[in-house]
């Protein structure tokens, strides 16, 4: 019984000399191909067969090699080994005296015409599709732009980095495909001019070199990661108390000009929890994202230690009828791609916005920061947001309280050290 | 050129067409003819021969005359003869030009 091996096909099917050469290398190592596709090649363990030559012949759309062709090739010492993808027949010979299949470069070029025609038609269709997708993106962008100009690029630049990864992968696949198509078209053009092109070195890195089976666990991992992110499964430890958190963050009390206390300090018990609300709790949540593998959000709220009995409730604006109760929700992250810091910070502010308010943004400057942006809610001065960044370290926060954030830019800078 | 729009015939194309001038032939006979005629100077690989037979048939330079199992025989057409004649004259002109310049 033969041992069977599955190996990723590291060469594009459009790189005819490259694929033939690779199959010959495998034959030298004792592996004979029994199934070749663009993704993988199945080999059987055979005796080492140095000097074995493999040649790919274009199938011209036929499923089976023509009997006449088989006869001619067989008489010259070439055996049929099977189909490669849907476009080639594979022939081989171990006989060093067997003549080359093609002895005339121009005729060899003619034999590739069907394949190059098919590739060019496919490229045209793909280009139309790419332009359609691009057009849809532009149209969607224009529509969104009319709705809210500041948000247009932001949906592409959220902290997860997922759209960026898709864009990068899309670009890599497109680049590889273009390179392979050019390889084939250049080969055919040269041959028809009577020139046998020199064998090009294999590119140092190509998507073809990635073992195909890696895509299975990777796809599974991506699904798990993205699902986990969606449902906050990686927010570990979930809602940890802030007292034991050592990484830098802005203390809400430091922002305030009067002494305030926590809910627990005031009432001696944790706040009553409402579904979906963390009001009254001072907690940190560690998170994971592709662009910033370890980032965290800190939520704080404090209360004024006044007589609650005479008040109607809690409010960040601190009107006389309410207990003054400022909130601070902030996200801190260190980006792996620092040039994206400002864009992603703006995206975070967009996510922190209270949707029922209108916001106006102001760009400020600070000697220790690369950028500072402060936003205020129109007709609601108690709500403010700020984003600041330095060397890829970013903080974006939503503040509800009496203080003016522009007076505390030093504190933002200190939190990014 | 009547048959090929992409330029003159290459040597293998020329000899393959030549092989049909006197009689019908199958693939193996064509290879033998070219080998013998050129005394081994022109090599005709099976891939080249098969591609040429298919291309010449598609362009109407040769026509299939019979099938015997895996073997097919072909004859040259009037169009094929015209293409061969045109190539012959071109080669003659090339030789004449060369000889003139050498003297």
Which domain covers residue A45, as residue numbers? Answer: 2-103
One domain for residues A222 and A249: no
Are A202 and A267 in a shared domain? Answer: no
> A375 burial class (0-12, 13-18, 19+ CB within 10 angstroms)?
buried
On whether residue A108 sits in a domain, the answer given is no
CATH code for the domain of A287: 3.40.1000
Of B42, B45, B55, the CB nearest to A110: B55
Does residue A246 share a domain with residue A226? no
Percentage of residues in chain A having pLDDT higher than 70: 86
Q: Is the pLDDT of residue A351 over 80?
A: yes
Does residue B13 belong to the interface with chain A, where contact is any CB pair within 8 Å? yes
What is residue A237's predicted lDDT score, i.e. its pLDDT?
Answer: 62
Chain A residue numbers touching B69 (CB-CB < 8 A): 67
Contact indicator for A119, A181 with CB cutoff of 8 Å: yes
A382-414 confidence digits (pLDDT tens)? 999 999 999 999 999 999 999 999 999 999 999
Does A285 map to a domain? yes
Q: Single out the residue in A173, A196, A230 at which a domain terminates.
A: A230
pLDDT for position B3: 44
The average pLDDT across A101-123 equals 94
Yes or no, beta carbons of A100 and B11 under 8 Å apart: no
CB contact under 8 A, A102 and B69: no
Please, which pLDDT band fits residue A381 given cuts at 50, 70 and 90? Answer: very high
Determine the average pLDDT of the residues in A4-10: 84
> Do A264 and A223 share a domain, yes or no?
no
Sign of CA dihedral A160, A161, A166, A169: negative
**Shared-domain flag, residues A203 and A280:** no
8 Å CB contact of B45 and A76: yes
A182 with A263, same domain: the answer is no
Contact A104/B10, CB-based, under 8 Å? Answer: yes
Residue B1 has a pLDDT of 41
A104 to B48: CB separation less than 8 angstroms, yes or no:
yes
Chain centre distance of CA B14: 4
Q: What is the pLDDT of residues A14-59, one digit of tens each?
A: 999 999 999 999 998 889 999 998 888 999 887 777 889 999 999 9
Same domain as A122, residue A76: no
Helix (H) or strand (E) holding A142: helix A113-147
| Domain membership flag for residue A236 | no
* Interchain CB distance below 8 Å, A103 and B13: no
pLDDT tens, B27-37?
899 999 999 99
C-alpha dihedral (A62, A68, A73, A79), degrees to nearest 10 = 60
Whether domain B11-96 has CATH 3.40.50.10470: no
Given A42, A72, A103, the domain boundary residue is A103
CB A409 within 8 A of CB A364: yes
The total domain count for chain A is 3
The full DSSP string for A184-240 is: HHHHHHHHHTT--PPPPPPPSS-GGGS-GGGHHHHHHHHHHHHHHHHTTTT--STTE
For range A97-112, the mean pLDDT: 93
Query: pTM of the predicted model, to two decimals?
Result: 0.69
Q: For residues A383 and A268, state if they share a domain.
A: yes
Specify if A237 maps to a domain.
no
- Picking from A103, A129, A150, the residue at the C-terminal end of a domain is A103
- Mean pLDDT for chain A? 85
Q: Answer whether residue A104 shows pLDDT above 80.
A: yes
Q: Best of A92, A108, A110 to disrupt the B interface by mutation (most B CBs within 10 Å)? A: A110
Instruction: Report pLDDT digits (tens) over A323-338.
Output: 899 999 999 999 888 8
CB contact under 8 A, B48 and A108: yes
Q: Is B41 on the interface with A (CB under 8 A)?
A: no
Q: With 80 as the cut, is the pLDDT of residue A258 above it?
A: yes
Residue among A69, A99, A106 minimizing CB distance to B50: A69
The alpha carbon of residue B1 is apart from the nearest alpha carbon of chain A, in Å, by: 16
- Mean residue pLDDT of chain B comes to 91
B71 neighbourhood in chain A, CB within 8 Å: 68, 71
Question: How close B35 gets to chain A, by Cα (Å)?
Answer: 12
B102 shares contact with chain A (CB less than 8 Å) = no
Which H or E element spans position A83? Answer: strand A79-84
**Is A65 within a domain?**
yes
Q: Does B5 touch chain A (CB under 8 A)?
A: no
Tell me if A235 is assigned to some domain: no
Q: Does B3 touch chain A (CB under 8 A)?
A: no
Q: Do the chains contact at B47 and A68, CB–CB below 8 Å?
A: no
Residue A375 is predicted with a pLDDT of 95
Alpha carbon distance A393, A337 (integer Å): 10
pLDDT band at A273 (very low <50, low <70, confident <90, very high): low
Distances (CA, A) of B99 to A310, A325, B85: 121, 107, 21
Is the CB of residue B30 less than 8 Å away from at least one CB of chain A?
A: no
Shared domain check, A360 and A289: yes
Residue A146 in domain:
yes
What pLDDT score was predicted for residue A364? 94
What local confidence, expressed as pLDDT, does residue A275 receive? 59
CA torsion sign for A367, A369, A373, A376 is negative
Predicted complex ipTM exceeds 0.95: no
- Chain B residues with CB under 8 Å of A20 CB are none
Give A2 to chain B, closest Cα distance, Å.
Answer: 31
């Amino acid at each position: 019984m033969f041992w069977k091996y599955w190996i990723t096909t590291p060469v594009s099917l459009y790189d005819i000399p490259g694929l033939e050469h690779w199959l010959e290398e495998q034959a030298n190592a004792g592996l004979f191909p029994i199934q070749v596709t663009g993704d993988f090649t199945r080999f059987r363990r055979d005796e080492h067969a140095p000097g074995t030559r493999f040649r790919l012949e274009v199938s011209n759309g036929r499923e089976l090699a023509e009997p006449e062709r088989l006869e001619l090739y067989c008489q010259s010492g070439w055996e049929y080994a099977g189909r490669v993808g849907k476009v080639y027949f594979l022939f081989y010979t171990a006989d060093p005296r067997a003549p080359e299949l093609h002895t005339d470069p121009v005729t060899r070029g003619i034999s590739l015409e069907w394949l190059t025609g098919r590739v060019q038609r496919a490229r045209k269709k793909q280009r139309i599709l790419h332009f359609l997708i691009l057009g849809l993106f532009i149209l969607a962008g224009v529509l969104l732009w009319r709705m809210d100009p500041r948000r247009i690029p932001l949906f592409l630049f959220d902290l997860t980095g997922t759209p960026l990864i898709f864009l990068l992968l899309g670009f890599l696949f497109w680049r590889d495909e273009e390179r392979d198509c050019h390889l084939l078209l250049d080969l055919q053009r040269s041959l028809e001019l009577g020139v046998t092109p020199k064998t090009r070195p294999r590119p140092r890195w190509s998507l073809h070199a990635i073992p195909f089976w890696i895509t299975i666990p990777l796809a599974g991992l991506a699904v798990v990661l993205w699902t986990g992110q969606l449902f906050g499964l990686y927010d570990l430890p979930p809602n940890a108390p802030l007292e034991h958190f050592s990484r830098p963050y802005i203390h809400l009390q430091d922002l305030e000009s009067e002494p305030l206390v926590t809910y627990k300090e005031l009432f001696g018990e944790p706040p009553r929890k409402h579904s979906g609300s963390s009001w009254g709790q001072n907690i940190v949540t560690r998170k994971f994202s592709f662009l910033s593998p370890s980032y965290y959000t800190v939520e704080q709220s404090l209360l004024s230690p006044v007589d609650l009995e005479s008040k109607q409730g809690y409010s960040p604006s601190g009107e006389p009828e309410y207990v003054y109760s400022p909130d601070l929700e902030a996200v801190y992250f260190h980006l792996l791609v620092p040039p994206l810091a400002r864009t992603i910070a703006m995206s975070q502010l967009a996510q922190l916005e209270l949707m029922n308010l209108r916001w106006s943004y102001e760009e400020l400057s600070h000697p220790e920061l690369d950028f500072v942006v402060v936003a205020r809610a129109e007709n609601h001065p108690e709500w403010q947001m700020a984003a600041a960044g330095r060397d890829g370290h970013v903080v974006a926060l939503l503040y509800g309280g009496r203080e003016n954030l522009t007076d505390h830019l030093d504190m933002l800078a200190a939190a990014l050290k | 050129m009547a048959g090929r729009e992409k330029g003159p015939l290459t040597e293998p194309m020329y000899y393959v067409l030549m092989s049909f001038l006197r009689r019908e032939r199958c693939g193996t006979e064509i290879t033998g003819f070219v080998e013998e005629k050129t005394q081994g100077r022109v090599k005709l690989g099976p891939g080249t021969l098969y591609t040429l037979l298919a291309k010449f048939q598609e362009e109407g330079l040769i026509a299939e005359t019979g099938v015997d199992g895996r073997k097919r025989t072909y004859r040259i057409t009037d169009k094929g003869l015209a293409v061969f004649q045109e190539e012959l004259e071109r080669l003659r002109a090339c030789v004449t030009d060369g000889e003139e310049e050498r003297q």
